[in-house]
Chain A
Amino acid sequence: MNVHDILFWVFSIAMLVCGVMVIAHRNPVNSAMSLVLLFAFMAGLFVLLEAFFLATIQVLVYAGAVMVLFLFVIMLLDIRASVLKRLRWLGLVGALLVSGLLVWEIQQVLRQPAVESAVEAKGLALGLSDVVKPLFTQYMLPVQLTALLLLAAMVGVVLLSKRDLQ
């Protein structure tokens, strides 16, 4: 076990525990805080995979912007804290069934020899310029379309936030 392996286990187990807490907490604020931690651990896994640019973006965009938005909305709505309703057994059974089936499928796929043979990381780590250069050449059109989509989202949010939708 080297440092990389130990950090992998620490980050991934902590991340999955945070994931359980997101869906188990009754109070949405606690869920949101667990989600912030989950994003931080995910950024740690990105660093282990030597995707430093994406780790930075993950912290800036997800743990920063998206979660602040979530917390603002939770405070804005002022939801009655922990509405203690009984657990839906049908919902619990359905959730266990769907996610259990999914895990079984993943296990079936990951047993394939093509996946198991990819043991060693190939080549050098991808640097910042390796990741960013395609954005200006090969992926120019998708970048422009994403910009358009962000503009559309902004206009949509302004429109949705108006008091009367006339």
Chain B
Amino acid sequence: MYKINIAHQAYNFKTLRNLMAKATPARSGDYLAGIGAINNLERVAAQWVLADVPLKQFLNEALVPYEQDEVTRLIIDEHDSVAFAAISHLTVGDFRDWLLSEQATTDTLSAVAPGLTPEMAAAVAKIMRIQDLILVAKKCRVITRFRNTIGLANRLSTRLQPNHPTDDPAGVAAGLLDGLLYGCGDAVIGINPASDNLEATLRLLHMLHDVIERYRIPTQSCVLAHVTTTLKAIAQGAPVDLVFQSIAGTQKANDSFGINLDLLQEAQLAALELGRGTLGDNCMYFETGQGSALSANAHQGLDQQTCEARAYAVARKFKPLLVNTVVGFIGPEYLYDGKQIIRAGLEDHFCGKLLGLPMGCDVCYTNHAEADQDDMDMLLTQFAVAGGTFIMGVPGADDVMLNYQSTSFHDALYLRQALGLRPAPEFEQWLQQNGIFNAANQLQPRSDVPALFKPSLQNIGK
């Protein structure tokens, strides 16, 4: 069925799953899994075949069997055929053309989103160039709310990530204040705890709540503990704004994370019950990343980009405030170099946005990847041009707890200057009222700290 003769070679791709893997732009994880194209010709042959596959085929041929996998069941059972009707006659190749056409407006794309499956989004991404991924994603608009409004046009939000190797309260506070004074933190103030235990999680949750309340910061907090830890914290009356969880695109991978759809539902309901959002009730924060299923040996023969897109089906069920693809954290055995990391980040953003998710990107790398700050600048810039929802803000781009390089407060300010991107409106107003930003969203000249924080700094002396 998936056959082609091309450049004097006959190709016969046995299954849609096999075809998807072969059509994927080269990345080390698919070779580690033994499923990548063996050469450039095979890859392009697969892309030609994939372009002729009708979108409907993805509803008929599950890439992971329906009976074995609750993510597949979620995708099929909750597919919106009415929304799909407008594009149901298209092939993958036609779909690419349609996405790039004037017909695909922001409103049309939003209307079609519930009719798209992750596999359709992944498939079309495989035959799109970087400029296509950017252009189409930029047309998508996804707006979410908790205590502020994330995702408006010409806005870029930031997660303030003041991690500390021992969760020392003053150490966390120092990173947190540094970030706020650089205008960072409207997406969330989110801490990765050094140890995933209830006591540490409770301590950090209370601290973030108290800081947000005392300084009246229009944002939300999150402690990125396992969902079961957060559920226990809620049961103990802790002030939980956003529930965090890492998610993946197969049931087996989610099993290895110790989660399933019921558990996520339980957590979402528990957070909704607290009713802590003032402007909206998007109360989930998910993180994903290509390669996570393979690293749990749970990729089920799927290529890592398709696995990743399927994680977005899990995310979309729970109406998250934020979804973050942590693109370069996983290491060179999945994404070898800057080129692979950049493309993966833009694919993930595109697929997420197309499916209706508020996609951020942890533009990041580890020291054993063939990547450096220049590569990150390229992804950072392209992600922002594509209308990316949020990026990370880590002091000096160096996370001293997780030991990897992400983006800095200065990086976000670079994008604000270069592309005229503003923070979420409520947070922008807070920054301006407190003299952190001026009316043009530039950092105010400083000989002293803003009045709001002056007493706290005087407490510690010099």
The answer on A and B forming one complex is: no
Interface residues of B (CB under 8 A from A): none
